[in-house]
Amino acid sequence: MASMRTLPKEFTVRRRDPVLVTPSEPTPQETKPLSDLDDGEGMRFYSSGIHLYRHNPAKAGQDPAQVTRLRCGGFIFGQRFCHCVVDAPGGMQFEKAICELACGADKPSVTPSWGREMFMAGDPPARPRYQHLEYREPAGGPDRMLTTPPSQMARAPFFFGPREIAGLRQRAQARRCSRFELVAACIWRSRTAALGYAPGDEVRLCFIVNARGRPDDVPLPEGFYGNAFAYSVAATTAGELCGKDLGFALDLVKKAKSAVTYDYLRSVADLMVLEGRPLFTLTRTYLVSDVSHAGFKSVDFGWGEAVYGGPAKGGEGPLLGVTNYFSRAKNGKGEEGTVVPICLPKDAMEKFQLEVQGLTAEL
């Protein structure tokens, strides 16, 4: 017997004239000047991020909208920001505003503020008041990280959980230090040893220090979402870095981190104008950005906290392994830790792994 089909019910469609849905208030039309921290060669790229969400039974039948849906009922939200306009905290401010609107708010709880004038160079710009090693070439020979073809590079993630951090703290010899400082010092020292630089070659760790939350008086207006950071540099020779204990590297990192003040940021702005907005140097330099506290996972569009929220890739730029993000994640045991994606020449990766194991093993 043939199966019976249920014919669709008839319904009436009324076609009306289209209506333009306008904004609730006039959209500003003006030119916004970037600050001299925004308008640098190193800021002219798009930073990609992703947020992964599980299926939420309470949202069954509801459409999460501008996203990649998964068969399990979860979805992936991706975004790209032009770094000339926002830094990581600024991008998070924007995403949280979207969350608030998606959850029914009439307007964001934090009103965005442009406020770029605080990071403009002087008129005329003053002579930079600091060395600014981040824009000066280091002394020494060639850097194989800049010449090794991609096909000869290896990638591996390294997890620094409670056990690894405990081992590093033992080697810190009672120094007060943050998780970032410990992991950065460990990676820098291990990477330098693995790459086999000559003892007299200058090697550097370059990292981002954000003005937000600094103890000194940086006059950021509420709602500011522009770039409010500088690159700070720890520098020494490969022989000294690898020949001394971890505490030596750690002291250099802490000193460099404390050097970034509001005056330092203004000096960077002056340098940008006077020297043609140079790109930070990459030779024998390991550049890292710590986004583990940016709050990517807390972005909630109504479906709950993300399973993962953060950078879509391990670093930025055309040269593999030169730049890295530090982000937060859990291992198979459910332990919270810092994940560092490492990219090195294939013949250096095993040496790097052994160096890290030696520094993180508990005494």
Active-site residues, by number, are 83, 300
Closest to 257 in 3D by CA, of 236, 230, 278: 230
Tell me the three state secondary structure of residue 261.
Answer: coil
* Segment holding 202, helix H or strand E: strand 202-210
Are 233 and 205 within 8 A, CB to CB? yes
> Between β-strands 323-330 and 285-290, what pairing exists: parallel, antiparallel or unpaired?
parallel
Under DSSP, the state recorded for 224 is B
Count helices and strands (H / E) in the chain: 7, 10
Q: Give every CB contact of residue 3 below 8 A, 6+ residues apart in sequence.
A: none
Residue linked to tokens 């993300």: 306
**CA distances in angstroms from 41 to 274, 277, 278, 281, 308, listed in the order given:** 14, 6, 6, 11, 30
With beta carbons less than 8 A apart as the criterion, state whether 196 and 344 touch.
no
Angle between helices 246-258 and 162-171 (to 10 degrees): 100
- The strand pairing partners of 159, in sequence order, are 339
Closest to 288 measured CA to CA, from 315, 261, 312, 254: 315
Can you give the three-state secondary structure of 289-358, one letter per residue? Answer: EECCCCCHHHCCCCCCCCCEEEECCCCCCCCCCCEEEEEEEECCCCCEEEEEEEEEEHHHHHHHHHHHHH
Q: Which two tokens stand for residue 60?
A: 């069954």
